[in-house]
Every structure is written in C-alpha cells, then in structure tokens.
Structure 1
Amino acid sequence: MREITVPPTAGLPLQSADLWPWGAGNFAQLMAGWLAVPEVQLQCSGTSALMVALRALKTLKPQRREVIAPAYTCPLVALAVAQCGLQLRLCDLRSDTLDMDAERLQALCSEQTLAVLPTHLCGRVADVEAALQSARAVGAYVIEDAAQALGARSDGVSVGLKGDVGFFSLAVGKGLSTFEGGVLIARDPAMRAALKAAGRTTRFSPWWELRRSVELLGYALLYRPRWLHLAYGKPLAASLSRGDWVEAAGDDFDDHIPQHSLGRWRQAVGARALRRLHHFQRTTAEQARMRVAQLKDCGLDVVTDATPAAQGVWPVILLRLPSQRIRDAVMRAHWGDGSGLSLPFVHALPDYGRYGHVLASACDDDVSQARDWAGRLLAISNSPWLDDARFAQFLSVLEGALLQG
C-alpha cells in the first residue's frame, strides 16, 4: 500500500458539505466576527490585498515612493510593490529572530518611505513595535504581512491590528483556503474607507473565477493523505529531478498579479470551513507544542514567536540548522519523500535571478543575515497527517544529521 503524502503545511481539509452553495452566511461578516474586528475587506489573493493597501497609502501620501520589507520573504512582495509603481528597499534580519534588524530599519527609513512591512512568517508573530517606532519617526505607515498567520494573536488581539493595515492570505496551505483569497483589516475607520476606495477598481472576472473554482474543487478532492501525491507529490518530484528548488518550493511566480473580486461560491465554501478553523488550529497548536519540546530536547533550534505576549499559529514548525551544508543534505535526502519537509523560501530576495528586474533599487542593501537564514531554515509540516511514528523517524534523521555535522 502506498505510503501517505504529508502536505508541506497544515491546511484545513474541506468537507463535502462545505461545497454546498447556499445558506453559508456572509463570509466577510463571519470572518470579521472570527477575527473580532469591525469589518474585513475581501480580495482575490493575499498579494492583491497588499496591492490594494499600497494603492490606498499612495493616495494618502503620493510623494512617497519606497516600501521597506524583510530581505527574506515571499517574492510576490517584490512583484506587488513593482506593479504598484513603487520601489522596494530590503531590510536585513536580526541574527537571533526572523524580525527586521531595528538599526538597519531605522537607517533605511526616510521621507521617501511610504510603508514598512513587518512579516509574520510561517505563523510566527513578528515584533511589530520595532517597525512602528521606525516608521512613525519618518511619518510612514506600517502594513502587517500576516499572509501566513490567519488566527495568530498578539497582546490578546489578532495580528494585523498594531499596524495601520494588516492582510491575510486564503491560499492553499494557509489554514483556511478558498484556493486563493485575501483579507484586509484596519483598526481606523478612515483607513478602512481608503482601502475600500482603492479596492473599487477590482472587477469580477468570469475566467479567473471559473479557474479558481475548478482549482478549489480539485483541492477539496485531492487534499487527502492518499491522493495528495497526484496534486503535490508528483509535481514536486519532477521539480526536484530537474534540480529546480525554486520551482519545488513554489517560489516561481508570474510578474503580473491578477486582481478581481472573490466569487460568491468560493466565499460560501470559506464561510462553512471557517466554523471548524478554531478547533483545527487548537489541535495543531497542541501538536506543535509537544513536537517543539521534542525538537528542543534534541538540541535543535526551533523558531518561535518574537515576544512572550504572542500566540502564533502552526502551519509548520521552523528549524534553523547549524549550517547550510547540513540543511541541504537533509533536504536532498528527504524533500519529496512525502514526509512533509519543505523550505519557506529558497533564497533571500536578491538571490532570485528571475526577479532582478524588480529588485534593482534594492540591490545595494546589505542582506547577509537574511542569506544566512535562507541557507539554514527548513520547515516540518505540522499537518495532523504527519503521525507520531513518522515524526519520530524524521527526528532520528535530524539527530543523525547533527552528529555527522
């Protein structure tokens, strides 16, 4: 019998009842209640949500042209900034956490800075206060990139509310999924009005909605432990056979980012699935708690939240191995064997050759720490389908890699 394929992240599986198109309730209102915010704004993707936020801020301070983001983040951030006609500046990371280095950030901020983007990477809660301090000193805004952190909290409230704007992704693997989707939040009513105004340019696209609906149906059918090899395992194996780690990690994106409204049927699917998300995240958080303890007992460096008041979510468990040589050896041996191993992103942003045309303004920024993080990070899926026996096997692999290193 074929061994199951563990997904790279802990996504919420859909149920057949989720696909019923009627009676689900208003998704935007249900999401607002779930997040405990006055209202949310739905977009077709997390990246589209970021672009709406940037366009809104441009109307408020049109003379500003620069956006500062971590040097280790999703390449879609660079593409979104470029598509909005803005310039990206890259801030190096701290040596001890995935947060932007406060001194570097302060030095980068200027009267040209429109926004700073602290990022809650892989569900871990970032230190937004440091970003706020630097941004406020020059009159810039803060956009919390919580694309991978729906459900995470800081000081008792949802992430995304300390900054001026926050956004979440509803893409595959982000927990709740409408295959693609985005959620915008803001604590200030005037900012919410600006976001709505900026979002009015998006229109319904029958072609994109049909495509995403078919993809969502495929996700509902194939996001199962014994079928995932068809949708995920085989394409991953093909990418790895070509030695294309960027493609294998899903870091290969088209330059043009589609923008359209989120269709009613996919909203209904999201509304029904949302009812199970709290329980699912509690279950995965408890699993992560136990497995993080095991990993730390073995001397492994587990990435945790930036502050004690934070309560992140756990789509994956992030490890920082002692060297890139050890990390790469583990990846070559076990990436693609169905055990749920992956990379958050393959490179620091300047090291993706294919995105050089949108990173020209950031090519001189020093990102040595970001490169170190990129070379040593790996992610272990926190999916419930990675059972204790298989996790124990992989733990032995990691212990052996440390000894050999």
Structure 2
Amino acid sequence: MASALLLPLLLLFVVLYPSIALAEQHTGLDDVNYIVLQTSSWLNSKAVCSRMRSPHPNVTDWAPLSRPYGPCSSSPATPAPSVADMLRSDQLRADYIQGRLSGDDDDDDTPPIRKDSMGTLSLEEHTGNGDNTSSPAAAATGGASGELPGVAQTVVFDTASDVAWLQCSPCPIPACYRQKDVLYDPTKSSASGVFSCNSPTCRQLGPYANGCINNQCQYRVQYRDGTSSSGTYISDLLTLSPTISVQNFKFGCSHAVRGRNNIPKTFYAVRLEAIEVAGQRLAVAPTVFAAGAVLDSRTMFTRLPSAAYAALRQAFRDRMRMYRMVAPKGMLDTCYDTAGVNAFVLPRITLVFDRNAAVEIDPSGILFDGCLAFAAVVNDQIPGVIGNVQLQKIEVLYNIPAGLVGFRHAAC
C-alpha cells in the first residue's frame, strides 16, 4: 500500500505550502539524524509556487494544491484565520473523518468465513474462561467440553488452511470483526512465545511470511474471497479437551482481519507499522497500529494511536531539551518558545509503512507554529489519519487499479 506503479494518465496532486521556514543541512551536526530549520528565512512566493521540481516521466497530468491563505492561492485575499481557529477547524475535520471510520454495529463487518464446522479452542491464560459463544474465527481445533484452563475460542475447523490464527487483544474495530468470546491476550499467558525473524519457524512460513516488526515474525494469510488476516506469529499451549493438549502450538495472533466494509471505499487506507525519530525506531508494539490509517488531504495534522503518539512525543522532547517549552496550543501539546530563535535543530521523523516504505517527514511538516505537528486519536480503535502537513514537499501518487499509494521526495 505504500508503494505504487505509476499510471501514465494519473492525475497527480502535489501538496505545495508556503513553508514556515527554510530547512537546510548544517555542517558540524549529525546530518544523518538531525536537520536545521531556519526560522528567520522565509521562502518567497515565487519559489513556493514553482512547478514540480522533478516531474516523473510517467506522469503527464498534475495539479498543485495550496493553502487558501498562502501566496499561491488564487482565491480573493481575505484575513487569514488565527492559529487557534485553524486548530479548532482541524480538530472538527479529524473528528468528522474518524466518525465516518468508526463503523456501526452491523454484522456485515464480519468476514465471510463459514460457521458450520466450529470447535472450541482453549489457550492457557491467567485469566478466566470465555463465554464460549458462537463467533466466527479461523484456526484448526477439535471440540471440547467441561471447564478448561485459559480462554475459550469458537473457531472454524478448516483443513484447507495452512496457517491457524485467532483474533488477539488488542484487536480494534473496524480492523477486526466483533466476536462474543473473550479475546485471547498472549501477554497474560505464561506459555506464550514469539518467534524471531531469523528463526527456522519464521522461515518456514514461506508465502505467509509478512516481514518483521521489533524482531517478531509477522504473518499474513489471504483468502480467495478477499478477506485476510495478519499479525504476529506466536506459540502457546493448545487445550482441546481435559485430556488432550498440544505444547507450543503455532498460530497467528491476528490484529487485523481485512474483510468487507472495514474502511469505507472513499478513503485511501495505508498500513503504518513503525515510527523513527533521529534514526531510532520507537519501541511501539505492532498491535498499536492495528486499526490502520487513512490519508486525508484536508486534515492538517497526523493523528496517531495514543501509545504511538506518546512515544513520539517523548522521543521528540528528549531531543529538544535545549529549547524552552511553552503552553500547548489546542491539541498540539509539545510547543516551544520561538522568540529569539533563528533556527531549530530538529530530529528527523520517519513514518514506516508496510513493504518497509519509509517516508521521512520534511522539516516543515515537523513543527507548526513552534509545536510538534502531530496529535493523538480520540479513540484507538478507529484508524488514524495521515495529515497534509506531514506530506508537504512530498509527491503523493494514487494507483487506484492496483490499490497502492506511492510517495516521492524532492518532487516539489
């Protein structure tokens, strides 16, 4: 989703903004992990409104985008809104987008998995039993009865599937479907374990391997009906009956089940998998990003899952201790005093999407009015939003037939 085959007649929208400041490399600094943002050097409108810096040979049609109150705007001159007004407006926009993404209680969100051969799966946990009610899932098990240790899971017995999997906590809606059974939580199991990316078990996944996150083996299963399951490949104790159990049973711990109506078709969904600050990947569990994210050209600031945003904020603050913090501005809670500051030395921030597509944020997309230009989502179970401030100076290409999104630096 984060790379694209370019279409010859693709209409390209390039985000052009009058940058808050001119970013440039500075000798003597760690140029690999940091960059200098000159707050005293403003770009003139002629430079801002220039054409694409490096047109792609396969793109014949493109159109520039500009802020309504910027020097490139063709609209009549009107007083620009205050920063507070812009932040309020952006929060309303983000609330609207996430409201549309929140889904409803309709059972149509459930993937079309057959319900006719269900057994019960029990995995050893420190918590009590689930309610053992009927709910579609996918794993290979047999029937069970009586009180068993762990949490019971109602599953499909599918001899045609190579990889067994369960929905695991956390499993937010709509990335996952609703189930009545208590979600299995591997962190509460004394017998659960993960596989490193270079382990024989991970290599044996073959076509079902889905890369590596935090040195944890990832899997992905795609079905003919278009549904899929992805997450971390793990093991645990499988209990089939009071007398039958399987040690180190290997299965997929799913945090995203792609089926019908997960995200409205009018959105461009991307899979954010990690964030890097100053060259260091944040210690954020893959499950944090399970709800996914969408690209929205009208939302200004990127909304991240709360745990991911907290990690980003802390890493950013740790590397900005030489500057004096000031009061928050709206939802932007990491702000710095710009008075008398001619330049900020900023840590580089990179968003890492699936297929290991690393998109480094331009310095003009890191700070807005002296504040870290990111915020947390209101509800972690709803997909996040990639805002337009973070896409400044980046060419964004939408390959609709292939279902891919591409990013290219230094194009504008």
- Whether TM exceeds 0.5 here: the answer is no
Could you say which structure has the larger radius of gyration?
A: 2
More helix by share: 1
| Structure of higher RCO (CA pairs closer than 8 Å, 6+ residues apart) | 1
TM-score range, shorter chain: under 0.3
